[in-house]
A = this chain, B = another copy of it.
């Protein structure tokens, strides 16, 4: 759909954020599992998971006839780094976070 690793674009949709929350709560899940409990179809969930995978936020792994998705929060670190960079000179709290990110990403 688009393989640009746009993390913010992937997080823009509330459904995708809900999916990430569910994934991080348990030990991964399949598309059909996630679809039960959401008011959308399995294919819609699969599309969202595809977008998340394109952004590098989830990792798809085949297990037999199932497709298990697990969250890979590494890109979140980049997004956090960008945000702290923006707000560094305007907000002391974010500036402190920026320093932490800088130190840990080195």
**Chain A 79-91 near chain B by CB (<8 Å), digits 1 or 0:** 1101110110111
Residue of B nearest to A8 (CB): B11
Q: Given the interface contacts A8-B8, A8-B17, A104-B96, does A71 sit within 8 Å of B87 by beta carbon? A: yes
Q: Is A94 interfacial (CB-CB < 8 Å)?
A: yes
Q: Which residue of chain B is the closest to A80 with respect to CB atoms?
A: B80
Give the interface centre of A14, A84, A87, A94 by most chain B CB atoms within 10 Å: A87
Task: Mark contacts of A1-37 with chain B using CB atoms, 8 A cut-off: 1 yes-contact digit, 0 otherwise.
Answer: 0000010110110100100110010000000000000
- A residues with a Cβ closer than 8 A to B are 6, 8-9, 11-12, 14, 17, 20-21, 24, 71-74, 76-77, 79-80, 82-84, 86-87, 89-91, 93-94, 96-97, 100-101, 104-105
